[in-house]
A = this chain, B = another copy of it.
Amino acid sequence: MAPTKKRVDSGELKTFVIDLLSAYDVNIDHAKTMADVFCWANLRGVDSHGVARVARYIELFDKGDANRTPVIVDHALRPALNMIDADFAPGAVAMTRGVDLVVDLAKTQGVGWVQVKNTVHAGAMGYYVERLANAGMVGIVMLAGMPNMAYPGARPAAVATSPFAVGVPAKDSAPFLLDMATATIALGKIKQYKIRGEALPDNAAVTADGVPTTDASLAKMPLPLGGMKGAGMSLAFELLTSVLSGVPVVSPIHAKADGAKRHRQNAVIIAVDPAAFGDTEAFQMAVTETLNSIRGLTPVSPDETIGVPGDRGGAIAKTRANTGIPLPEATLNELASLAEAKGMNTIKTLD
């Protein structure tokens, strides 16, 4: 059974989240950035990375996993290379800073590469590559975190469902926005199958013993996309982000090292400046032509719509901007409790 949902206005939701985070002692700039990233995800239908995260984030702050008053330091390592030590700042804050920095590097050096180390749950990667594309850049983001995904042949959670994201600006069109996890199925989706009592697709998830299962109530973690392909990508991202930054996540977990289980994430943000190749208008036009050439392919069945990465989220965002963002009652109740505890009114629903 699908959970009951009620709609809220997207603008009001953002204001409410800013006020709520502020009431929980998050400084106003950080609260604004976090609200922007959460609401972007909700607007585009990526609800798992939306305002349902607010309560989780307050827990992260209270536990000391996330830092309300981080001292974020940029290390300019080489002309095109920078490393941000985020001091456990919220992912939205650290990653947005990384994006803005990498754009500056790319403008002068042609390409920029920024490591973001020691951050926490960074949310929807699409937000950051869209920000890169909106700055005219071709952007790539890779992120790694706590092991929560199976690995071919192994019993425990071995690597993370680490995302890979690419943004490319287009002419007279929303940017190309790929934002994909390296897992076959999202953890949140497994939960939804369980709630609905439905069988999972084959080879999507495994039990606690690492054995494939279609029983959502026994499913402990997702399998990697395409076996060694998704597992290899995830492991590559751990090497490119955590290990290259000097803060490995995977090996301390498996060595059961002290403090290894503290939640953290590390990322790399890469940007290349199309202006270095010549006419940016012509480039963006060629991007649009390529995207349109795919959208215009003959469909397998006449009623099929062929989309490119970014289209679906863009369509949802248009609808939700007009008619509101549907939030599950559980999320609304959680937000209401948080508001009440600080003597605030909760968000008004449209239904």
Interface residues, chain A, CB within 8 Å of chain B? 77-81, 83, 108-113, 115, 138, 140, 151-156, 158-159, 164, 166, 168, 176, 178, 180, 184, 202, 209-211, 225-226, 228-230, 232-233, 235-236, 238-240, 243-246, 248, 250-251, 253-255, 270, 272-274, 276-278, 282-283, 286-287, 289-294, 296-300, 304-309
Contacts and interface: CB of A to CB of B under 8 A. Distances in A.
Contacts of A239: 138, 166, 168, 176, 287, 290
B270 A270 contact: yes
A147 to B, nearest CB: 10
B276 A108 contact: no
Contact of A111 (B78, B154, B307): B78
Contacts of A81: 109-111, 272-273, 276
A270 to B, nearest CB: 7
A292 B255 CA distance: 10
A251 B286 contact: yes
Contacts of A274: 244
7 contacts: A168-B239, A180-B233, A210-B300, A226-B226, A246-B283, A251-B290, A254-B293
A340 B53 CA distance: 70
A304 B236 CA distance: 22
B228 A300 contact: no
A45 B115 CA distance: 35
A211 B301 CA distance: 10
Contact of A108 (B78, B291, B308): B78
A79 B111 CA distance: 9
Given A79-B80, A277-B83, A293 B232 contact: no
Nearest to A182: B229
Contacts of A246: 277-278, 282-283, 286
A311 to B, nearest CB: 10
Contacts of A108: 78-79
A153 B300 contact: yes
Contact of A78 (B110, B229, B307): B110
A255 B293 contact: yes
B240 A110 contact: no
Contact of A109 (B78, B209, B243): B78
B110 A80 contact: yes
Nearest to A181: B229
Contacts of A292: 251
A148 B298 CA distance: 15
Nearest to A312: B228
Contacts of A210: 300
Nearest to A225: B226
Given A77-B110, A81-B276, A166-B240, 5 more contacts: A78-B273, A80-B110, A111-B270, A156-B297, A226-B226
Contacts of A251: 286, 289-290, 292-293
B78 A243 contact: no
Contact of A79 (B110, B113, B236): B110
Nearest to A271: B113
Nearest to A201: B203
Contacts of A296: 254
